[in-house]
Amino acid sequence: NDSYTVRTVEVNDILPAGVSFVDASNDGRVYCVVKGDNVRWCFDVEPDTEGFVTVRVKAGAELSGEAFANSAAVTVSDRETGQTKTAGTNQVVNYVLEELLKSVKSENGKKDLNGETVGSGTKLQYQITVKNTAVEERTFQVTDEVPEGCSFVSAGNGGSCENGVVAWTVTLAGGQSRTVTFLVQVLKDAEGGSVQNVASVSGNDVTLTSNRVRTYVEKPDTLLEDIKGLIDGLPDNSGSVTVNVDNSNKNEAAGGNASGENSSLKDSSKKDSSGGSAEKTGAAGNTSAKAGGTSLSANAPKTGDDSNIGLWAVIAVLALLAGGSSAAYAVYKARKRDDEDA
């Protein structure tokens, strides 16, 4: 107000399509009314003073990667003369950042691993794509935290990692986009869980968060090793049988059968023709890999009577878990055979 009298000012700002009202100047001296998409302020301006009003809006998803324009109308009333004048402000154009896209790929960047399962030690490549939707050149800060359960390996495109945060400074011409990448390695601690995170980009006082990506980490099947440890810890007996469990056909539906073809028990307490003990068919507590599955070879004690029946029951259950019904049936047949021999 460059006059010598108090003037009443009214400002009307019609919000553009696709944006929603957040808040506006309204501190007692400035009276604000929001009706529909119109924001209206009324206030008195003392002589030889100036000021401004503000409104904050939120751009909707439909404006992602687009621009919207806005202007306001100002009406000034002179109290002494009663005259009013209305003028339009300049138009401002706001550019909305395009959705920040993030993906997780294999080490070579070719296979999409979002929602997939990998093993510990696998290297994952994260890719973040940012686009400058403005007309003029702009600089953006892109950041991404190294996921929990992973260790940082390297960053491309001039990125650096400090305190677990990977960062890039990206300058883009109007309409230009760029993808930045970094590499991590999945740690053993992540087995049985997942690694996930999001990236963010900031520029021109705006921060945008990316989509979340997640990769699952498998937990190795240690059942056979656990069974081996249990059997190895059983009391030593003068007579024993060797339990061979092959879980390549864990049940009949997967190709196994009830005849025990995929699992067997061999009696190592039989005498050979010279009267000595026959050589054991498998090394006690030995585990080995076989094509199509994993096999367990371990010595299980037997007494030839019912004093050890509980122990045999435990071995049968373990064989069932590891090798399916065929393994358990093989244990049953061996036990029955031992009863007949006793």
Q: Given a cut of 70, is residue 54 above it in pLDDT?
A: yes
pLDDT tens, residue by residue, 129-157: 999 888 889 999 999 999 999 999 999 99
CB burial of residue 333 (10 Å; 0-12, 13-18, 19+): middle
pLDDT at position 59, please? 85
C-alpha atoms less than 13 angstroms from C-alpha of 300 in its C-beta half-sphere: 30
> Closest by alpha carbon to 164, among 173, 154, 174, 151?
151
The single residue listed with the structure tokens 């358990």 is 328
pLDDT at position 212, please? 95
Return the structure tokens found at 315.
Answer: 């071995």
Using an 8 Å Cβ cutoff, are 114 and 197 in contact?
no
Using an 8 Å Cβ cutoff, are 117 and 218 in contact?
yes
pLDDT tens, residue by residue, 277-293: 333 233 233 323 232 34
pLDDT at position 135, please? 85
DSSP class of residue 271? B
Using an 8 Å Cβ cutoff, are 228 and 285 in contact?
yes
Using an 8 Å Cβ cutoff, are 147 and 184 in contact?
yes
CA distance 251 to 256: 5
